[in-house]
Structure 1
């Protein structure tokens, strides 16, 4: 059945599905499935149940929740492959970033709104659109895809994930020939791109102490060092005058082949008028392959609680994005050593590791990548570009270790120019969602044909070994 479906049939079936896809996506957005500590667990668990029910309705009948020790459940399902066909695993996640109307949302983030061909709401793109791409690409084949299918929908991608240890302990559940990760996308609507690399992320907390307790700033200021001032001086050494990372010894990856248009970057970042970009070199390299450092939190008195005292203790949490092929432990220790060395006036400094996650470079040269490029080009009607991603998906490295031979296809319905993932007024373009479903469905056909051709060549002795 699956191999008889043509591209025109995939396109027409997808078009017929879209009204239901749109309504189902709106339904999923209504779940405030924030898996961060301190947020209620009930909406997250309800979202897991809703995801499983949706996948079953769309043709993934063997679907269940897998208990992940210490975390939220993963949604998992399988469809056995036809004889001689490969198996793909489709990945997305059902948890989302926090969102509050008062943060600057034009509408309630948990009430989906359709406007000008886009659906607005938290998770509209990241990554409940990925769930819909997964489900719809199964339904296009009426539950009988041309390849074997495994589905993994994670519940903790946006926070500290407990899935890594589960994958390492149960690699047999994840064995496949290719992973399809529908948690990415294009720079602009209608311009297809394959994501080929992701930066990693490391973080630490640096704490500075100078005094046993707060003291009067008039009586003691001018000789005794203030902990917050010392910390500020240390943090200022992380960048040079141009904004490039000034920590010596960090690895930089190869520059991206695709350029990131500055006007799109400025608009999607919400950069205020007149503010300069920082760093040097191609913009794509600055975002996708070079290290970047952000101070993501500071423990110090608030303005409302300020007093005329010398501050005895101050601390900061620092997050550093690292090159896709960098060793996270090495990069983190370089950062921590830099902070210790930057401490002025012999202040007491403690630097503590928080996290260290690898980046990822997709294996190249496989027939899956060829099939993905053809699928995207056919679905979008344009040549396919390659890009990196500045964010991280730590699970990819874990999956690669569990299934070393598998290929990785990273794409999705995000468009960096307007989707505003993790930000206010997150949205997804409905046309982009439709084209993504067509591409993923077509990939299943092309990947099956490539696998059958490869097996045939091996049987006839036509392929080289090695």
Structure 2
């Protein structure tokens, strides 16, 4: 569904819309900078008032578009009902009779900054250099919020509220980085307001800074804490070492069984998806990841196949004696955080069961194992056969000036499976502003400014064309 003529020119309506996007882009980048300065982190150890301030700022931006019938901040119970989740913003504009409703999703919470010493500039002070904005949340996902807001501003300026027939639901979550613990309850509590025909999830990335992508597959995740115990108290390593297995010895022996000699996961019951991938060279992998000279990639098969379609197991945390406190002691207990990325198409529960079974069967020396804090999120395979997918591909191509590609993501967005379950008829469009150099979740996270501009152009075109399509039905 393109509004470009055969010679590549835009229709008068789209020209006016893109002019509005260009005129509003300085304000969009300024508002993004203001959002980034609010360190809204959902972890309890951080100042929760900042998350409230972030939600209030997003709500004000939504109200200022003048397009919504209601804009509210809600908090719903977490899964077990013991506490309330973090504040989410819900703005609703009712569709005209017979017209579709489009949900625009993003999240306003961000990852903790990590070690400030690793940042070249302060994490919550947006800094522009080399065509990028550096700050925590600049790409993930406050640029997603501002893509929605800036697109809506352009729609309000050119289409106008009276001629906007489609419904709009703007849902900006406050705890995506903290596990979306109240997400399902939020959907249940506001199902009538949130029910949509098309859902645009602006929390993914592109093939590169110039090539737009629709994300059509995402791996699931299974994360848990593994505790390995071999002793009921610490003992002197000189007196008993060589006869008594310490917990670290048992733990490292155990986790080594999770991979084969090539670094591929070697756990029976973890699935692999068979799907074609785009070309991607080892040189590009090295340049985008910082792989050190002499260090080889792991796994087998195509590089993108390893990232998009195969499982991984990573130790992401460990509780053990620090180097500064080390002593000649046999450790009785070690706790590790294991994170598994699950191939698209396999349930996270099935993957976790396979991992637990493998670890119990391979526990060395009779070591005692316990599994706690299990966190599961299912993979996603997007149906690409709907009319909205074609409309999105066309809008992305016109917004970026380059054809869109279908894209897989090695990461996980588990809440998408909740959206699919609650709104089974909705078409899911997963888009985003990240590129391989964005370093989301890492120090020196950044947003490519031209990508941000093109994302707004694309979404504004999509909304305007969906509105015209609705009015022509």
TM-score (norm. length: structure 1): 0.93
Deviation at 1:173, TM superposition (A): 2.5
Deviation of residue 146 (structure 1)?
4.7
2:112 alignment counterpart:
98
The runs of 5 or more residues in structure 1 that have no matched partner are 456-466
Q: Distance in 1 between matches of 2:280 and 2:67?
A: 38
Alpha carbons of structure 1 residues 451 and 259: separation in structure 2 relative to 1, 3 Å: farther
Q: How does 1:17-166 map to 2 (within 5 A)?
A: 17-61=24-68, 62-69=70-77, 70-100=84-114, 102-142=116-156, 144=161, 145-161=164-180, 162-166=182-186
Match runs of 1:229-268 below 5 Å: 229-268=249-288
Verify the 8 A CA contact 1:256 1:288 in the aligned structure 2. Answer: no
Task: Determine if the alignment matches structure 1 residue 439 to structure 2 residue 453.
Answer: no
User: In structure 2, do the counterparts of structure 1 residues 307 and 274 end up closer, same or farther at CA, with 3 Å as the change threshold?
Assistant: same
CA distance 1:319–1:332, change in 2 (3 Å):
same
CA distance in 1, matches of 2:287, 2:312: 20
1:181 to 201, 215, 221: 201
Shift of 1:395: 1.2
Counterparts of 1:372 and 1:24, CA distance in 2: 25
- The Cα shift of 1:36 comes to 1.3
Counterparts of 1:266-415 in structure 2, within 5 Å, are: 266-352=286-372, 354-415=374-435
Q: Residues of 2 paired with 1:32 and 1:361: CA distance?
A: 33
**Deviation at 1:42?**
1.1
- The question of whether the paired residues in 2 share the 8 Å contact of 1:256 and 1:387 is answered with no
Query: Counterpart in 2 of 1:464?
Result: none
Moved more, 261-270 or 67-76: 261-270
User: Are the counterparts in 2 of residues 92 and 154 from structure 1 also a CA contact under 8 Å?
Assistant: yes
**1:77-110 deviation digits (Å, cap 9, x = unpaired):** 1122234321100000000011146341100011
Matches within 5 A, 1:412-427: 412-416=432-436, 418-427=437-446
- Cα pair 1:400 1:406 within 8 Å, conserved: yes
Distance 2:289 2:165 in 1: 40
Q: Is the 8 A contact 1:299 1:315 kept in 2?
A: yes
How many residue pairs get aligned? The number is 451
Tell me, yes or no, if structure 1 residue 8 matches structure 2 residue 15.
yes
2-structure distance, mates of 1:99, 1:229: 33
CA distance in structure 1 between the partners assigned to 2:397 and 2:190 by the alignment: 36
Counterpart contact for 2:124–2:136, Cα < 8 Å:
yes
Q: Which residue of 1 aligns with 2:6?
A: none
CA distance in 2 between partners of 1:265 and 1:173 (Å): 43
CA distance 1:236–1:100, shift in 2 (3 Å):
closer
Q: Measure, in 2, the Cα distance between the counterparts of 1:64 and 1:353.
A: 32
Whether the aligned pair in 2 keeps the contact of 1:258 and 1:386 (CA below 8 Å) is no
CA change 1:102–1:67 in 2 (3 A) is: closer
Q: Which moves more between the two structures, 427-436 or 346-355?
A: 346-355
Change (3 A) 1:275 1:152: same
Query: Does the CA-based 8 Å contact 1:100-1:109 persist in structure 2?
Result: no
Question: Paired residue for 1:461?
Answer: none
